[in-house]
Structure formats: C-alpha cells, structure tokens
Amino acid sequence: MPIMSFGSQNINIITHKKAMTIRKLWKNPLKVGDRLHCYWNLVSKEKKKIFEAEVTDVKTLPFKEIKNNDKLAQEEGYIDAKDMVREFKKMYLNEISDDDLFQIIYFEKLDLDKWKGEKIDQKEMITQRADILFDTGKYDKSTLCYDAALRIDPSDVYLLNKQGDNLTRLNRFDEAIECYDKALAIEDDNEYIWNNKAIAMLNSGNVEEALKASDSALKANPDSAVVLYWRGFILEILSQFDQALEVYDKLLKIDDTNPEVWNARGNLLTDMDRAEEALESYDKALELCLDDSELDATAQNRKGNALMELLRFEEAIECYDKAISLEPHNTSFLLNKGVVLMELGNFAEAENIFTKVLAIDSSNDDARVLKMECLENM
C-alpha cells in the first residue's frame, strides 16, 4: 500500500488541477496500477488523508535529465528547476548525484466509493486545508482550496464568505463582492457578510456603496460591535464626523473596554479639531492597551499629536519618546518628535533626529528639508 505525502507546494493536488508528482526511486518502484494512499503533510500535526488514486503512468529518469527542466518543475508546483532542486536537497538528506533515479508518477484520483481505506468528507478536508492556509496568511493558496470546496458545494455560505475574505486580502475586490452577494442571496440577514461586503467596497474605493452595505448590516443587527466599528470608520472617511462620533459613542456604551475604539474616537476628534476631548480618548486607549505594544505605540503617537495641537510640547515629547521606545525605527514617530524639538528651539537635537530618519530611509524628503532648516538655525 504505497503512501504519499504532499505539502503546500502541491496545493494543485488538493484542488484537482494536478495529477502527477516526482519522487526519488523507492526500493520497491511504483508501477502502473498501484493504488496510492495520499496524505497532506504526513509527518506533521496537520496530517490528513486527502484521496486515494491509481497510478496510470510512470517514467523513470536520472536526476541529470530533470534537474534543469523548468517545465517539469512547474508542473510539480515549484517556481522553476532551481527551486525544485533546492527543495529536493532538503527532502533527501543524502547528496543527490546525477545518476540517481527519480520517478515521474501520473495518477488518477479515485471516486470515494472506490476507496479501499478510510473514507473522508472531501469538502471538509479541503475546507480545513483552506482555513489553515488562510490563517497562516497564504492567501494565494487558500483561495485555490476554497475554490475547490465550492465546486463541491457552490451554496455553502461559510465557504462563500471565507472566499470573499480571502479575495479581499488579495485585493481582488470585485470577485470578493461577488462571493458575498452569492452568500447574501442565501442568507440576506447575515450582518457579518454584509459587513464584510462593506469592507470590500471600502477597500475598492466605493465608499458610498460601502455605507449602503453597512446600512444592511446594521439593520440585521443594530448592536453588533464589529458592524458599528466599521460603520464609524466609513462615516469618517465620508467626512460625516458627527454621525461617526455618534456611532463610536454607541459602541462604547455597548463595550467601553476596547482600546481600538477609544483610539479611533480620538483620531476622529482630532480631525474635528477637538483636541482636549481627543486627548481624553487617547488616555483611555492607553489605559486599556498596555499589553498591545503596536496599538500602544500608535496611541502614544496620536496623543503626542493632540498635545502638540494644544502647544503642550514637553508632554508631546514624552509621548513620542514612549512610542519610539516601542518602535525605534518608526520614521513617523521620529519626525513628529523632531518637529516638536524645532518648536522648542532645540535645533541641534532635532537635526540629530532627522539624520537618524535619513539613515533609516534615505529617500525621506521631509527629513531632508527639516534637517536643512535645522542647520540654518543652529
């Protein structure tokens, strides 16, 4: 019973777009008619049977005849022959010589009712692979798996929604929206799918349509924290600041422990030139997000900006210093600190800051101009 293991580079195996593989010659070579029991990542925690197949053809060639064959390597799922050879050297611990024999194995996947071993739910298996790839950020591969699962069940709302999320991350917004629309034709009261459609519309630059989708999401669930958060953001982009503030305030009545909402509210109030109130929101965000360094750094920077608007320069520098301690190479934080130092007349210290920014990003024009201004005033 020959067993084969396939990994991420063999994603076309799972999605039924490929029915061949290349393996170093086994002690008992494969022959036409052999049955294959095929698994995903056989020696890992992700181990999962994916199909049974029957060998339909086998070609045995020395390594020297395949190691430069880009076409064959691409059929196997590699970028080119060099990529394939590099992976083979990882797979086969002993050095590969030109005379080592490899088999190019062609097979036909068998229908489930013809399997001799354990039978599986193929849709579930493919969906699991898709979800794992999605969660690890391999969106180009997960979209192929969601596609394959949808060929088995085109009306699965979960799959349509996940494929939409996946396509959104690939910036394929029109296709994502098409997936959401198919899902909504089945479940038109699903606020999560309406909200995901709104996000896709927003990312595609169609903000007015994003708001319409958000209207439908809100109608489905007026108290959904996720829907309200994104609705506030959409309204803010549309410069409907008062309505956005109402949404954030409603959201905080539902849950006042989310630092991201307090930070978003602070950003909005800053745009509304309400610096004192913005400062209060940033303080609340900082109080709640001490375990989230990225948000903490951003909140410290935004608080510094609010303090700078209020001409409270020394306090602003304290905030920028805290942000920079968390993200030392963030040029935006450094530039902000440099500008405040200029306001305080500390041109030498500011010049050092702008020099550091240019060391990180030599093409930063703001830092170059500000550095020159500092030098003129020293």
The CA distance from 262 to 38, in Å, is 51
What are phi and psi for residue 174, nearest 5 degrees? Answer: -60, -40
Q: What pLDDT score was predicted for residue 307?
A: 83
Read off the pTM. Answer: 0.67
Per-residue pLDDT tens listing for the chain (378 residues): 688 888 766 777 777 678 889 999 888 899 999 999 888 776 666 677 888 899 999 999 999 999 999 999 888 888 899 999 988 888 887 788 999 999 999 999 888 888 888 788 888 888 988 898 898 898 998 999 999 999 999 999 999 999 999 999 999 999 999 999 999 999 999 999 999 999 999 999 999 999 999 999 999 999 999 999 999 999 999 999 999 999 999 999 998 888 889 989 998 998 898 988 988 888 887 777 655 555 678 878 888 888 887 788 888 898 899 889 989 999 999 999 999 999 888 899 999 999 999 999 989 988 988 988 888 887
The CA distance from 36 to 159, in Å, is 29
CB 303 within 8 A of CB 284: no
Measure CA 50 to chain center: 26
Q: Judging by beta carbons within 10 Å of its beta carbon (0-12, 13-18, 19+), is residue 344 exposed, middle or buried? A: middle
Angle between helices 122-135 and 157-169 (to 10 degrees): 30
Q: Which residues contact 283 (CB under 8 A, 6 or more apart)?
A: 303
Q: What pLDDT score was predicted for residue 128?
A: 85
What are phi and psi for residue 59, nearest 5 degrees? Answer: -120, 130
Q: What pLDDT score was predicted for residue 1?
A: 63
Residue with tokens 């030599």: 362
What are phi and psi for residue 155, nearest 5 degrees? Answer: -105, 15
Residue with tokens 């303090």: 307
CB 145 within 8 A of CB 15: yes
What are phi and psi for residue 38, nearest 5 degrees? Answer: -110, 135
Q: What would you report as the CA-atom Rg of the chain, rounded to the nearest whole angstrom?
A: 28
Q: What pLDDT score was predicted for residue 67?
A: 92
Q: What pLDDT score was predicted for residue 324?
A: 93
Q: Nearest Cα to 49, choosing from 41, 59, 38, 58?
A: 38
Residue with tokens 């539902």: 254
Q: What pLDDT score was predicted for residue 206?
A: 94
Measure CA 347 to chain center: 41
Q: What is the dihedral of CA 11, 14, 20, 25, to 10 degrees?
A: 80
- Half-sphere exposure in the Cβ direction for 217 (13 Å, CA): 26
Q: What pLDDT score was predicted for residue 146?
A: 94
Task: Work out the end-to-end distance of the chain between its first and last CA atoms, rounded to an integer number of angstroms.
Answer: 81
Distances (CA, A) of 17 to 28, 37, 140: 28, 18, 15
